[in-house]
Amino acid sequence: MPTGVHIHDARRQLFDAAERVLLRDGPSALTSRAVTTEADVAKGVLHRYFTDFDAFLAELVRDRIARIGSQAAALRDSAGTGTVAGNLTGALTDLFDSVAVAIVGLVIFRDELRARLRQAGPAHGLPVLTEAAAMIAAYLADECEMGRIAADADVDSLALSLIGAGHLLFAGREGAPPEAGAVDKVVITVMADVLQRRLL
């Protein structure tokens, strides 16, 4: 790597390399050497920016969590437009891209990583999925206020159901995600009661 490369560029290069290794070889293959080899940089580059490999992995996961923040803003902006089921189907499909599913697998696989993430974030739940559930719950709360779902809907439980079902639909797949119809069916099933009661 040329000297003087901005830290953000080096971090992004390393994160992109780690994601490629994760997707191709799984969490057990993700080592500092695998990442730097994939990024085509000297091994010392990673340690120049991160105290150790778990610190690097924690930042990789936080980078993914930050993307959920952007997705959350877009989802909340969609409240009151389109259909609730359509908005949720789109959100789950965007959320559970192949990299996100692989990163959830990484968090499950590495106890030390999970512990580090919990020091700086929620002390319960699974990092990434916890933030995703909060995103869905906030959107559903907005739809409650707009009267598009039942006012007494338990948005937190609905969000957990949608995230759990969504993760199961997308996890363990090689290549193509599930068909949109499969995601839509799950969303409609989970949301059926609060959508119907809203009409009563």
The string of pLDDT tens digits covering residues 96-136 is 988 899 999 999 999 889 888 888 766 677 889 999 999 99
Q: Cα separation of 148 and 91, whole Å?
A: 17
Report the pLDDT value the prediction gives residue 127, as an integer from 0 to 100: 87
In the predicted structure, residue 54 carries a pLDDT above the cut 80: yes
Question: From the CB of residue 65, how many other CB atoms can be counted at a distance below 10 Å?
Answer: 16
Q: Cα separation of 136 and 85, whole Å?
A: 12
Percent of the chain with pLDDT over 90: 68
Q: Cα separation of 159 and 140, whole Å?
A: 8
> One-letter amino acid identity for 166?
G
Q: Cα separation of 102 and 104, whole Å?
A: 5
In the predicted structure, residue 172 carries a pLDDT above the cut 80: no
Phi, psi of 83 (to 5 degrees): -115, 155
In the predicted structure, residue 3 carries a pLDDT above the cut 50: no
All structural domains of the chain, each given as residue ranges with its CATH number in brackets, are: 1-49 (1.10.10.60), 61-199 (1.10.357)
Burial category of 44 from C-beta neighbours within 10 Å (exposed 0-12, middle 13-18, buried 19 and up): exposed
175 DSSP assignment: S
- Mean of the per-residue pLDDT values for the chain? 89
146 DSSP assignment: T
Distance set, CA 68 to CA 4, 60, 109, 122, 136 (Å): 31, 13, 21, 15, 10
Report the pLDDT value the prediction gives residue 4, as an integer from 0 to 100: 46
SS3 call for 95 = helix
Phi, psi of 5 (to 5 degrees): -70, 130
Report the pLDDT value the prediction gives residue 2, as an integer from 0 to 100: 46
pTM for the model stands at: 0.87
What are the helix (H) ranges across 51-200?
A: 53-77, 84-95, 98-109, 111-120, 129-145, 155-170, 180-199
Confidence label for 174 from pLDDT (cuts 50, 70 and 90):
low
What is the CA 63 to chain-centroid distance, rounded?
10
In the predicted structure, residue 173 carries a pLDDT above the cut 70: no
Angle (CA) 114 58 118, round 5°: 40
Could you read off the pLDDT of 182-192 as tens digits, one per residue? Answer: 999 999 999 99
Could you read off the pLDDT of 57-67 as tens digits, one per residue? Answer: 999 999 999 99
Interhelix angle 98-109/7-25, rounded to 10 degrees, is 80
